[in-house]
Amino acid sequence: MFHTLRKTIDSPFDLIREVDRALGSYQTPAFPVDIHETGEHFVIEADLPGYPKDQIELNLDGNVLEVTANRVAPEAAEDRGEPRVTERVFAKVQRSFRLPETVDPNAIDAQVADGVLTVKLGKRDEVKPRRISVN
């Protein structure tokens, strides 16, 4: 009974998603991020589970960092059988971040592990905290 009710409720939304996909306009919400600051860096951690490393791209234009990730649907194969439930989203996601002037554009490092993209944005030397010795 609940299966029939869920199918009845989901059916119109499934149709909308299929039409959007066919028209190429289906987009997922932006991916979630955490941003924190240390004395040496700004750090952006973005959840991108299932996005292959070679499909994640970072571009810096002035002081705007753009992160784009693309997950392409697998090719249809006879051995996969007829789909019964399709909830996984295969789409391109993108976010832009306006960086503070204190970021050193030559000190940016990005790594991905376990579906989390970590971008370390180094600060310019003149704004880093420094220790002053007392003589």
Q: pLDDT 10s per residue in the chain (135 long)?
A: 555 555 555 555 555 555 555 555 445 457 999 999 998 999 999 999 999 999 999 999 999 999 999 998 877 666 777 777 877 778 899 999 999 999 999 999 999 999 999 999 999 988 777 788 898
pLDDT of residue 68: 95
Rounded to two decimals, what is the model's pTM?
A: 0.70
**DSSP 8-state code for residue 100:** P
116-123 and 64-70 beta bridge pairing: unpaired
Cα-Cα-Cα-Cα dihedral sign, residues 48, 49, 51, 52: positive
pLDDT of residue 129: 76
